[in-house]
Amino acid sequence: MNRFSQVVVAIAAAMVISACSEPEPPTPPAAEPGVADAPERPAADGAELDEQINPLLVESPLPYGMPPFDQIRDEHFQPAIEQGMAEHRTEIDAIAGNSDEPTFENTIIELERTGQTLSNVMRVFSNLSGANTNENLQAVQREMAPQLSAHSDAINLNEDLFARIETLYEQRDGLELDAESLRLLEDYHTRFVRAGARLSDEDKEILREINTELAQLGTEFSQKVLAEVNASAVVFDNRDALAGLSDSRIQAAASEAADRGLEEGNYVITLLNTSGQPPLSSLENRESRERVHRASLDRGSRGNEHDTTATVSRIVELRARRAQLLGYDTHADYILERQTAGDVQTVVDLHAQVGPIAVANARLEGEDLQALINELEDEPFELASWDWAYYTEKLRERRYDFDDAEVRPYFELESVLVNGVFYSAEKLFGVTFVEREDLPVYHPDVRVWEAFEEDGTPIGLMLTDLYSRSNKRGGAWMNSYRIHSGLLGGYPVTGNHLNITKPPEGEPTLMTWDEVTTLFHEFGHVIHGLFSDVQYPSFAATAVPRDFVEYPSQVYEMWASWPEVLQNYARHYETGEQIPEELLERVMEAATFNEGFRTTEYLAASVIDMELHRLGPDDVPPAKEIMDFEARVLAESGMDFPPVPPRYRIPYFSHSMGGYSAGYYSYFWSEVLDADSVLWIRENGGLDRETGQHFRDTILSRGGSKDAMELYQDFAGRVPGIEALLERRGLLIED
């Protein structure tokens, strides 16, 4: 992603993985005793700024250039964005208007240096808009999205600028550039062409109009989804309806009701953005389960002020029109051209290959659940989607002799993070993390961790923001506030976000196994950002194809269940007792339990995303037909198994409407690489420094500086197949 596209993506879709440049900070001063070469550690209250100075427009006084969150106010963002755009325009005009013949240095290198103010501001703004938004920030989003789109177009469609880039591109074989520099030149040329640089003036104007409207619609969609997930929370007026939930979870529901101004005796179950909801595995009352699940599935299509179906229809239509304007058959063709999958048919074939296997396994699982219902219930009923999680948990308990409640006391958040995630990082990379309580944060739940190399050399910062709240978008993600590159220096500052339900004050945070693996997963993104060691900011950190960016993070999930790591963090929060070996064995035996469901719900969403974006502009269904389209796609692909709805339905499918359009397949595609990598790691040392360093040197540090599949072969020395993934997931393959 070039520097200009990054800016618009950040504001329009609140993207969470960015790769922008930053100014080089001062060399870190001498270390405190015992912390070699650590940057200066000022206390938060020692970094005050003049109230008349916009803190977003001056160099941060904090270590590593961390944003001074205690100084930043909502009203600072719009003027900072506007000034950043003005500075960027001036810089671009200077390059485009340079009377000297274009050279790699006076054109491409200078482009890499531009827009630093705007990039820095936008990273902070887009990250806060996703993690800690409010009406003021949302108003700025709506106001600035079209302006940022116009700003990006003004650069990408600048004829004089593109002429310089194209001249260099045509001369590239004679420029004697090193491999990374040549890749950068080719990348700029490709991206400008894909952004419309070769269009006629008339078509450029049409493109500008499309991009502006898409920017507005992207903001509209994300804000409606957040508003709807809050508005769809389910209210219960008696405690008995919540039977099966833990006392702490019921207390949290009562607190949520009180926070919403409801009378005592009411309870509110809040929703995550996925179709499935965590309480469904515990709620004993079938009517309660149905209420929660229907509220989840109906979001965004209820005809209220938060209904997104019209927004979705228009976004998909405009994407299709833009793709055809740029010379592609569909938006999916446009997107896949730059991904490691290469073309749409490859993804369609993947869906066709794995989908039937997944659904067949899910149906077998459904038969087991129906048999359990018939056995346990006095008045048996047909298995429905709101029953799946509840009876799955019962079957898990029967088959493997444990339930979620038995395991969670061993997965206390602090231990998982420090004794699991950080422990594995030290074993693999020699990296240690030390908490910084003196640095300001944007919310009391946020913590800051400083990373050091084995010899004490500072690396950068990681902010953890792990609890859910009403002004935070759903899901889990990593983001970058600052990045490092050889050209511009700087230190990486990253964010690690989950949406764990916060327990009542004074009680421990006990995690599910899915939450544990998610924390490891997002940390895999974090180290991808922290370890970046490339020359050019365009390639820094996680600036890789969308269907490759999930690969390193999915590999990192393996360490959650690696025996040495798991035994180090899985300790009872009250007694400190290590998880019993026999319980651990049962947990590991259950690793592939319910995989038919998990694979089916994911692939159903992936198929929907791809089929939406394979439509021509005249074939996009109107708002009132969006849900019918979803049903038809599931039926035609064989993914319509009612007890297993898609992980995301179209009206709240933020990936598809955001940065993963025609790209939700990426998780499965990356897992093919991941599964093969896990085999390689097991065969070549496992949890040790040599293995970790090899992965760091060949994958994590290289960013987008080399073709992604070449990077993979540098690491594994082979081309992966899908067999390892299917075996890992325990999916039965019919002959």
Backbone angles phi, psi at 497, to 5 degrees: -120, 130
Residue-wise burial string across 389-412, b where 16 or more C-beta atoms lie within 10 A, e elsewhere: bbbbbbbbeeebebebeebbbbbb
Task: Give CA–CA dist 249/633, Å, rounded.
Answer: 37
Place of tokens 């509209």: 220
Is residue 544 within 8 A of residue 185, CB to CB? The reply is no
N residues, the chain: 735
Task: Give CA–CA dist 600/620, Å, rounded.
Answer: 25
Task: Give CA–CA dist 75/137, Å, rounded.
Answer: 9
Could you tell me where the DSSP H helices lie in 557-625? 563-569, 581-589, 595-612
Output DSSP code: residue 107.
I
Measured at the alpha carbon of residue 155, what is the angle toward residues 210 and 314, in degrees to the nearest 5? 15
Determine the residue type at 680.
Answer: W
- Listed in order, strand segments (DSSP E) in 427-569 are 432-435, 447-452, 458-467, 477-482, 493-500
Report how far apart, in Å, the C-alpha atoms of 195 and of each of 3, 45, 162, 199, 329 are: 12, 45, 11, 9, 16
Measured at the alpha carbon of residue 311, what is the angle toward residues 307 and 314, in degrees to the nearest 5? 150
Task: Give CA–CA dist 566/685, Å, rounded.
Answer: 17
Determine the residue type at 669.
Answer: W
Give the pairing type, strands 493-500 and 447-452: unpaired
Report how far apart, in Å, the C-alpha atoms of 686 and of each of 378, 538, 558, 671 are: 50, 32, 10, 18
- Token pair listed for 462: 């990681």
Task: Give CA–CA dist 83/413, Å, rounded.
Answer: 41
Is residue 187 within 8 A of residue 538, CB to CB? The reply is yes
Determine the residue type at 476.
Answer: A
Task: Give CA–CA dist 142/362, Å, rounded.
Answer: 42
Per-residue 3-state assignment (H helix, E strand, C coil) for 661-708:
CCCCCHHHHHHHHHHHHHHHHHHCCCCCHHHHHHHHHHHHCCCCCCCH
Packing angle between helix 74-96 and helix 159-170, nearest 10 degrees? 60
Per-residue 3-state assignment (H helix, E strand, C coil) for 34-94:
CCCCCCCCCCHHHCCCCCCCCHHHCCCCCHHHCCCCCCCCHHHHHHHHHHHHHHHHHHHHH
Task: Give CA–CA dist 236/242, Å, rounded.
Answer: 8
Is residue 207 within 8 A of residue 199, CB to CB? The reply is yes
Taken in order 274, 275, 281, 283, the sign of the CA dihedral is positive
- Token pair listed for 160: 């004089």
Task: Give CA–CA dist 266/254, Å, rounded.
Answer: 6
Per-residue 3-state assignment (H helix, E strand, C coil) for 111-133:
HHHCCHHHHHHHHHHHHHHHHCC
Is residue 674 within 8 A of residue 551, CB to CB? The reply is yes
Output DSSP code: residue 412.
B
User: Which one of 22, 112, 522, 550 is the catalytic residue?
Assistant: 522
Task: Give CA–CA dist 431/425, Å, rounded.
Answer: 6
Catalytic site includes residue 522: yes
**Residues tagged active-site:** 522
